[in-house]
Amino acid sequence: MKKNSLALTFLGAAGTVTGSKTLVNYNDTKVLVDCGLFQGVKSLRTKNWEDLEDALEVSEVILTHAHLDHCGYLPRFVKQGFKGFIHCTPITAQLIRIILLDSAKIQEEDAERANRKKYSKHEKAEPLYTAEDVHQTLKQVVTHEFHEWVVPGPDLRFTFIQNGHIPGSAMVELHAGEKRLVFSGDLGRLKPLIMPKPKPLPNADILILESTYGNRLHSVISPFDQIEKAVNQGFKNQGQILIPSFAVERTQEILYILLCLIRDKKIPTLKIYLDSPMATAVTDVLLSFYDFLKDPELRSVMNRQLEVVSDYRASQTVVAMDKCKIVIAGSGMVTGGRILHHLEAHISKPSTVVILPGFQALGTRGNDLASGVPDIKFFGKYYKVKAHIVQLDSLSAHADREELIEWVKNTGQLPDRIILNHGEETASHSLKLKIEYELGVPVLVATPNMHYVIDF
Ligand SMILES: [Zn+2]
């Protein structure tokens, strides 16, 4: 009788947190779990230009969620010849349409700028992919509800299970013959603010677990208290309250907190301007798929206080308004987007409050602001930073070290082995030691292109 063969290859998110791609090779079937873009430092970003070997041999992509580091390589993969299905949940399908089209627009604008300024080392700078590539990619998407089993090959099946990270996100339970694998995807918080809680870990022989916060704990300071204090300070000085934000999940979380604070009369009834077309589109998807504003009082506060800023001209009008107001605009790390115009106009006023609602990567303006730089550059000119900067410590869509261990511990039967991916090396290795000590399960840390053969 022919023996079964099963192997995993970690093509991305190994030793780092971006570029998620894990190839599952079961007998003659190859499926790819996630197809993410590498982001951050240049040495990682250049990997996006390398072709994925076997593009034509992969029969399906299984997508855990709509963040770019998990889905952003898809149009490039399709361009290389991938013709199979892209499986995801219905909300993920809606979100990747918005996110991939935005990503293509940025790629096209970057290439266009490089050609105009002639700073590309290549003859002619090309975008990694275009909107046309994204439209082709979207044609290959098929959606599945949570817990629906899908059979991509003989003796191979998988299902999506709610994992609480962002709307539509899922862990993947995959059965290859008698072997049971679980890919955690990015695991959400155990006590989330607006997301449903992650479902328990199903029984698995092997767990592929993310480790973004493998060596850290989230702060216990309440984001409600921090935002309340910051908004009240801005109101006292009749200044601008500016919140750079990520379009998916973070904007809706911030909105939820602001609406709760207004409902509970903890902050004044200020107008909230949502000045981000992408965040507005995502908020609409979320409100139609699952209502994160179930409380009718919150809905009516939103209807009264929220103003969606439609186009660029309207955005300029809001920038010029001097009255005290709250603005939520992209991008989350102040690297681009409409927030730049608001900051350019108001960063040098001591009455302005800037709330940074999450992690700010090194080299971004958000990181500079968080670390207290005296001046900052917008559109080729330096501006003095006189605004009060508040960094929120506790908003995160990822489980921290304790939550990851807690989630694994509460399964029916511990896995035989855990493989850690999606973490910086120090985070993954620290979590490995802790899991081995606390749970007694052997742990392997994935390295780039690691090939792991599973014995039957
Ligand atoms: Zn994610």
Per-residue pLDDT reduced to its tens digit, 316-329: 999 999 999 999 99
The structure tokens listed for 220 are 């216990």
Distance from the CA of 29 to the center of ligand 1, in angstroms? 27
Instruction: Give whole-number Cα distances, 373 to 265, 336, 341, 358, 370, in Å.
Output: 34, 18, 19, 18, 8
Please indicate, yes or no, whether residues 401 and 448 belong to a single structural domain of this protein. Answer: yes
Distance from the CA of 117 to the center of ligand 1, in angstroms? 34
Q: Kindly compute the dihedral angle of the four CA atoms of residues 293, 295, 298, 304, in this order, to the nearest 10 degrees.
A: 100
- pLDDT at position 28 is 86
Distance from the CA of 238 to the center of ligand 1, in angstroms? 36
Domain end call among 391, 408, 434: 391
Distance from the CA of 18 to the center of ligand 1, in angstroms? 9
Please indicate, yes or no, whether residues 442 and 352 belong to a single structural domain of this protein. Answer: no
- Return the closest-CA partner of residue 280 out of 311, 317, 305: 311
What's the full length of the chain, in residues? 456
3-state secondary structure of 225: helix
Distance from the CA of 348 to the center of ligand 1, in angstroms? 34
Which residue bears the tokens 């060596």?
Answer: 215
Distance from the CA of 306 to the center of ligand 1, in angstroms? 27
Asked if residue 145 belongs to a domain, the reply is yes
Average pLDDT over residues 200-229: 95
Determine the straight-line distance between the first and last CA of the chain, rounded to whole angstroms.
13
Please indicate, yes or no, whether residues 297 and 240 belong to a single structural domain of this protein. Answer: yes
Domain end call among 360, 391, 422: 391
Distance from the CA of 268 to the center of ligand 1, in angstroms? 33
Distance from the CA of 67 to the center of ligand 1, in angstroms? 5
Determine the Cα–Cα distance for residues 13 and 448; give it in Å rounded to an integer.
8
Please indicate, yes or no, whether residues 270 and 174 belong to a single structural domain of this protein. Answer: no
Asked if residue 289 belongs to a domain, the reply is yes
Please indicate, yes or no, whether residues 251 and 335 belong to a single structural domain of this protein. Answer: yes
Band the pLDDT of 269: cuts 50, 70, 90: very high
Other CB atoms within 10 A of residue 439 CB: 16
Distance from the CA of 298 to the center of ligand 1, in angstroms? 27
Asked if residue 424 belongs to a domain, the reply is yes
Please indicate, yes or no, whether residues 295 and 422 belong to a single structural domain of this protein. Answer: no
82-92 per-position pLDDT tens digit: 999 999 999 99
Please indicate, yes or no, whether residues 95 and 32 belong to a single structural domain of this protein. Answer: yes
Distance from the CA of 423 to the center of ligand 1, in angstroms? 12
Distance from the CA of 325 to the center of ligand 1, in angstroms? 30
Please indicate, yes or no, whether residues 247 and 107 belong to a single structural domain of this protein. Answer: no
Distance from the CA of 184 to the center of ligand 1, in angstroms? 11
Distance from the CA of 248 to the center of ligand 1, in angstroms? 10
- Sequence-ordered list of residues with C-beta below 8 angstroms from that of 2, at least 6 positions apart, any chain: none
The structure tokens listed for 264 are 């509970």
Please indicate, yes or no, whether residues 119 and 19 belong to a single structural domain of this protein. Answer: yes
CATH of the domain at 232: 3.40.50.10890
- pLDDT at position 288 is 79
Strand intervals (E) in 177-246: 179-183, 206-210, 240-244
Distance from the CA of 378 to the center of ligand 1, in angstroms? 29
Higher pLDDT, 452 or 52: 452
Poorest-pLDDT segment among 57-61, 128-132, 294-298 = 294-298
Distance from the CA of 387 to the center of ligand 1, in angstroms? 31
Distance from the CA of 99 to the center of ligand 1, in angstroms? 13
Instruction: Give whole-number Cα distances, 112 to 64, 119, 124, 306, in Å.
Output: 32, 11, 9, 35
Mean pLDDT, the chain, whole residue set? 93
- pLDDT at position 2 is 66
Q: What is the pTM of this model?
A: 0.91
Inform me whether the pLDDT recorded for 263 exceeds 80: yes
Distance from the CA of 452 to the center of ligand 1, in angstroms? 24
Inform me whether the pLDDT recorded for 120 exceeds 60: no
Distance from the CA of 130 to the center of ligand 1, in angstroms? 23
Please indicate, yes or no, whether residues 412 and 378 belong to a single structural domain of this protein. Answer: no
- Return the closest-CA partner of residue 47 out of 75, 80, 20, 19: 19
Higher pLDDT, 360 or 179: 179
Distance from the CA of 346 to the center of ligand 1, in angstroms? 32
Distance from the CA of 94 to the center of ligand 1, in angstroms? 16
Which residue bears the tokens 């302005």?
Answer: 352
Domain end call among 391, 415, 436: 391
Q: Which domain holds residue 349?
A: 223-391
Asked if residue 314 belongs to a domain, the reply is yes
Distance from the CA of 188 to the center of ligand 1, in angstroms? 9
- pLDDT at position 155 is 94
CATH of the domain at 22: 3.60.15.10
Asked if residue 1 belongs to a domain, the reply is no
Distance from the CA of 165 to the center of ligand 1, in angstroms? 7
Please indicate, yes or no, whether residues 51 and 193 belong to a single structural domain of this protein. Answer: yes
Structural domains counted in the chain: 2
Amino acid at position 60, single letter: E
Please indicate, yes or no, whether residues 30 and 121 belong to a single structural domain of this protein. Answer: yes
145-162 per-position pLDDT tens digit: 999 999 999 999 999 999
